[in-house]
């Protein structure tokens, strides 16, 4: 199996977990190995130059046995159909791990948005909705932001969708600005969600974050939010990176300077102190906690043997391949998997969807309280499953999630 194909990785992870459920759902299991629907579209956009340029986009809808398809819209030049299929699969598992009444979906457009003007970006976003609006809706498929998409893009999309169906329908997209139905707490959820999981995990192991040396690969939106919180936890950031490379300082990096550079859209190559290193070197730094927050397939069977972290927490989707998982488990390096570690995003998106559909909105404190409870309850279930079956945390989470999905399919007669 190619470790470079994220969809094969997702299928392998499901097959590994199903060994603990075999015999109970043998009719249903083959049906979740592939998405229920894959849509490929061409989106023509009139560029500022007057040229008509075609953009290819994919929508994968993996499984809706427990509720509407959910999750992100990715704009990236390296998007592939298999990546979108994998991410939709992982989203089904993620939603079920958190016990959310949702299924998994994913959108992806092959584009480097940095090369587009704002007008071109808006036309692309509206064109995408024009091609797919018949397949989405608040009770069918509810997208949200992901890589290189944001609240502004969601605003264009929900406006276009509402125009096409003839009435205002804010619950079709989440991650929107507050002024058009976004949820309070979404901004802080990206900062707090990972912390709820990490602190709960360490508490279960009778440990704390105090003094822990942390490496965060990729100071993007989510990674930067995490970096900003580190000072308050008593932990020490010793390494991070961006698209130009990494920086490292054993005694601790200057978080204020990193935040200033990234918020001003500058490269970490302009960081004044510490050592400049590559992204691959960053993954192999000696540290207490390593947090991959970039893209898929960062830790593979080739470099897993060189990882020196005591604990890994996946913020990105699929940064560790199945082969690497096996190596890390054999080396007693626990991994808090992406389907739990970064599930705060889809959880608060679900909260936004619920508020939109009810036309009743919660306070920031309510959102944070509900998020904390969801994350801590899910972690407890995953830890119990992993200990019961003597498996890695990822497999424990998959067993929990797949049992919920397959049971829903079985009682529905699928």
**Which residues are tagged catalytic?**
106
CA distances from 228 to 59, 188, 256 (A): 33, 11, 8
Beta bridge mates, 56: 42
User: Strands 52-63, 37-46: parallel, antiparallel or unpaired by DSSP?
Assistant: antiparallel
Instruction: Look at residues 297, 294, 329 and name the one whose alpha carbon lies nearest to residue 311.
Output: 329
User: Strands 308-313, 286-292: parallel, antiparallel or unpaired by DSSP?
Assistant: parallel
CB 298 within 8 A of CB 217: yes
User: Strands 335-336, 308-313: parallel, antiparallel or unpaired by DSSP?
Assistant: parallel
Length reported for the chain: 414
CA distance 19 to 409: 18
Give residue for tokens 């159909």.
81
Give residue for tokens 């390593």.
290
How far apart are the two ends of the chain, measured CA to CA in Å?
29
Give residue for tokens 């998997």.
337
Per the structure block, which two tokens stand in for 44? 């023509």
Cα 386 to chain center, whole Å?
A: 22
If DSSP codes are grouped into helix, strand and coil, which group holds residue 109?
strand
CA distance 204 to 190: 22
Cβ of 77: how many Cβ atoms within 10 Å?
12
CB 341 within 8 A of CB 194: yes
Return left, alpha or beta for 301; rule: phi > 0 is left, psi -120 to 50 is alpha, else beta.
Answer: alpha
Instruction: Look at residues 80, 62, 73, 204 and name the one whose alpha carbon lies nearest to residue 127.
Output: 73
- DSSP annotation of 163 reads H
What's the burial of 193, exposed, middle or buried (CB within 10 Å: 0-12/13-18/19+)? buried
């Amino acid at each position: 199996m190619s470790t470079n194909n994220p969809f094969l990785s997702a299928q392998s992870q499901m097959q590994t977990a199903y060994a603990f459920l075999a015999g109970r759902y043998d009719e249903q299991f083959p049906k979740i190995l592939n998405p229920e629907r894959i849509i490929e579209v061409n989106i023509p956009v009139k560029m500022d130059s007057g040229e008509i340029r075609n953009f290819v986009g994919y929508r994968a809808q993996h499984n809706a046995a427990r509720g509407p398809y959910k999750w992100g819209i990715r704009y990236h030049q390296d998007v592939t159909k298999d990546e979108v299929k994998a991410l939709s699969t992982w989203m089904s598992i993620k939603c079920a791990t958190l016990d959310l009444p949702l299924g998994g979906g994913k959108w992806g457009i092959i584009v480097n948005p940095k090369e587009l003007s704002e007008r071109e970006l808006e036309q692309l976003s509206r064109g995408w909705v024009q091609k797919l609006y018949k397949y989405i809706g608040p009770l069918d498929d509810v997208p949200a932001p992901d890589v290189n998409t944001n609240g502004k893009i969601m605003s264009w999309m929900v406006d276009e969708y509402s125009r096409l169906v003839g009435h205002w329908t804010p619950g079709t997209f989440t991650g929107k600005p507050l002024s058009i139905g976004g949820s309070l707490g979404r901004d802080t959820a990206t900062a707090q969600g990972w912390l709820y999981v990490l602190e709960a995990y360490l508490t279960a192991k009778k440990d704390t974050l105090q003094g822990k040396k942390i490496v965060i690969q990729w100071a993007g939106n989510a990674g930067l939010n995490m970096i900003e919180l580190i000072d308050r936890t008593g932990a020490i950031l010793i390494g991070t990176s961006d698209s130009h490379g990494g920086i490292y300082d054993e005694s601790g990096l200057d978080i204020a300077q990193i935040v200033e550079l990234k918020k001003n859209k500058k490269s970490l190559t302009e960081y004044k102190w510490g050592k400049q290193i590559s992204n691959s070197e960053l993954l192999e730094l000696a540290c207490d906690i390593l947090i991959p927050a970039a893209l898929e397939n960062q830790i593979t069977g080739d470099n897993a043997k060189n990882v020196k972290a005591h604990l890994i927490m996946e913020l990105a989707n699929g940064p560790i391949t199945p082969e690497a998982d096996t190596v890390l488990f054999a080396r007693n390096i626990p991994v808090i998997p992406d389907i739990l570690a970064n599930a705060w995003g889809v959880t608060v998106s679900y909260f936004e969807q619920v508020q939109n559909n009810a036309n009743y909105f919660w306070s920031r404190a309510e959102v944070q309280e509900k998020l904390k409870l969801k994350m801590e309850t899910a972690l407890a279930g995953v830890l119990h499953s992993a200990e019961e079956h003597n498996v890695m945390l990822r497999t424990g989470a998959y067993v929990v999630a797949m049992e919920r999905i397959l049971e829903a399919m079985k009682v529905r007669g699928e």
